[in-house]
Amino acid sequence: MTFDPETTTFLIAGPVRIHPRVLRAMSTPSLNHRGDFFHGVVAEIRELLPQLFGTKGHQVVLTGSGTAGLEAVYAALLPKDGRTLVLTNGNFGERTNEIARRYSSHVTTVSAPWGEPIPVEPVATELAKGDVKAVCVVHNETSVGLANDLAALAPVVKASGALFLIDGISAVAGIPVSIDAWGIDAVVAGSQKGLAAPPGLAMVHLSDRAVAALQPGTFYLDLRAHLKSLEKNDTPWTPAVPLFLALKEALLLLKEEGLATRIERTHRLAEATRNAVDALGLELFPNRRFASDTVTAVKNPPGLGDPEVRKVLERQYNVLVQGGQGALTGKIFRVGHMGIADWPDLLVTFAALERVLSRARGTPATGASLKAIVDRMP
Ligand code: PLP
């Protein structure tokens, strides 16, 4: 079987499978992006965005992938004088570090081993040294399948008075992101993850004090310009019109399901996935207590790598899961279960995985991973 995007079981860690309603919404003739119809679309998106973030605030949509949202935030909010603290424990944390160093001359990094959460103590120690104006952290480290404990980090950041800037790209609409309770000043979401829209848009939530602190930053991604245009249901430059149409439909689907229900469903799928991994005698990559609910990272079975596992899943069963990134290339595979992923996706993926492993190990397939999933179904 060759890869067929129409029928594949698609569980990479984002982009995720897209609902047919969202696909259809994109297929329209050209629109005047300065016309009434499109202004109406932007107005609806503005009304729906609080459903995504779970709170009201200053919220914008940027044409550009999640990284564009991060760059917009760091360019506008990292201090020119004063320190920036970047917390890293994975590939995207390292990316944050790189972006932050373009916009802030005094960056301190607190790192934890990949697979372990960022501990509070060294963060508190750095903050106590003073002059930290912004703290940047990836909430859900997609590269290692781990959710950092923002509830634990938030009080020390809040006490320091620093801006709390969150990469929520694979967290928003997948795990609880308590923006108000944790005192988050900026959170960036990506369209292709928990929201299950196509890739290419970044949604940014800003607190009042973040808006007050905005500097011009970059020209194209100037958050002040975007906020100002949005007041008139407009965008400063030509937006990715088809993606905005898709975004509106994906937000409507999220509203119909409800944010809390989507997060709860994602959690159940994650638990089922972890149980299925156990049933196959495989090992999670991250510390289990902090395992992400949107993406499960699994160590490759001893003696088997991408060619024997992922590539066979893809070629033989048209099932797509994702490999490792950076230092973890060839060492892990990752199963995404966010957005509109559902039970049939998991059942097909693990049926195929169980077959691939039983053949490679020369042992019979028992269906144990499928039972683990069925047992968690509502
Ligand atoms: N941060 C996290 C946590 C991510 O998962 C990703 C993408 O997977 C990114 C940043 C980069 O986002 P994008 O590829 O949409 O620019």
Q: Total domain count for the chain? A: 2
Give the span between the Cα atoms of 81 and 141, in whole angstroms: 29
The answer, as to whether pTM is greater than 0.95, is: yes
**150-189: pLDDT as tens digits:** 999 999 999 999 999 999 999 999 999 999 999 999 999 9
Q: Which of 242, 257, 272 is the last residue of a domain?
A: 257
List helix spans (H) across the chain: 20-26, 36-53, 66-77, 91-103, 120-128, 150-160, 208-213, 223-230, 241-257, 259-279, 310-317, 343-361, 368-376
Residue given tokens 């709170």 in the structure block? 55
Q: Tell whether 117 and 128 lie within a shared domain.
A: yes
On whether both 245 and 293 belong to a single domain, the answer is no
Kindly state whether residue 1 falls inside one of the protein's structural domains: no
CA–CA gap between residue 205 and residue 171 (Å, rounded): 13
Task: Return d(Cα 321, Cα 313) in angstroms, integer.
Answer: 8
CA–CA dist 159, 161 (Å, integer): 6
- If asked whether residues 96 and 202 sit together in one domain, one would say yes
Domain contains 51:
yes
| Same domain, residue pair 55 and 150 | yes
Contact 49, 59 (CB under 8 A): yes
What is the helix (H) or strand (E) element at residue 337, kind and residue range? none
Same domain? For 210 and 280 the reply is no
* Domain final residue, candidates 228, 257, 286: 257
CATH number at residue 359: 3.90.1150.10
- Residue 69 CA: nearest ligand 1 atom is 16
**Listed residues 257, 288, 306: the one ending a domain:** 257
Ligand 1 mean position to 39 CA, how many Å?
Answer: 28
C-alpha 269/C-alpha 63 separation (Å) is 30
Q: How far is the CA of 68 from the centre of ligand 1 (A)?
A: 10
Contact 360, 307 (CB under 8 A): no
If you measure from the C-alpha of residue 65 to the centroid of ligand 1, how many angstroms do you get, rounded to a whole number?
8
Quote the ligand 1 centre to 169 CA distance (angstroms): 6
Tell me: do 247 and 284 sit in the same domain. no
Residues 17/320, Cβ–Cβ less than 8 Å: no
Question: Pairing between strand 58-63 and 83-88?
Answer: unpaired
* End-to-end Cα distance, the chain: 32
Pocket of ligand 1 (CB under 6 A): 14, 65-67, 92, 138, 140, 142, 167, 169-170, 190, 199
**Residue 241, by phi and psi: left (phi above 0), alpha (psi -120 to 50) or beta?**
alpha
Per-residue DSSP letter, 306: T
138 & 77 share domain: yes
- Contacts for 85 with CB less than 8 Å, ≥ 6 apart: 107, 108, 109, 110, 123, 126, 127, 132, 134, 135, 136, 162
Among 86, 88, 96, which residue's Cα sits nearest to residue 132? 86
Residue 29 shares a structural domain with residue 168:
yes
Q: Do residues 214 and 329 both lie within one domain?
A: no
Ligand 1 mutation pick, 63, 97, 170, 191, max ligand atoms within 8 A of CB? 170
Domain coverage including residue 236: 20-257
Q: Which of 65, 169, 296 to mutate to test the pocket of ligand 1 (most atoms within 8 A of CB)?
A: 169
| The one-letter amino acid at 35 | G
Q: What is the pLDDT of residue 5?
A: 85
CATH classification of the domain holding 153: 3.40.640.10
Determine the pLDDT at residue 1: 63
- What distance in angstroms lies between residue 66's CA and the mean position of ligand 1's atoms? 5
Pair 367, 313 in one domain: yes
**pLDDT, tens digit (0-9, with 9 covering 90-100), for 303-346:** 999 999 999 999 999 999 999 998 999 999 999 999 999 999 99
pLDDT attached to residue 150: 98
Helix (H, G, I), strand (E, B) or coil at 206: strand
d(CA 49, ligand 1 centre) in Å: 19
pLDDT tens string, the chain, 378 residues long: the values are 667 888 999 999 999 999 999 999 999 999 999 999 999 999 999 999 999 999 999 999 999 999 999 999 999 999 999 999 999 999 999 999 999 999 999 999 999 999 999 999 999 999 999 999 999 999 999 999 999 999 999 999 999 999 999 999 999 999 999 999 999 999 999 999 999 999 999 999 999 999 999 999 899 999 999 999 999 999 999 999 999 999 999 999 999 999 999 999 999 999 999 999 999 999 999 999 999 999 999 999 999 999 999 999 999 999 999 999 989 999 999 999 999 999 999 999 999 999 999 999 999 999 999 999 999 999
Indicate if 247 and 332 belong to the same structural domain.
no
What ligand 1 atom has the least distance to the C-alpha of 143?
5
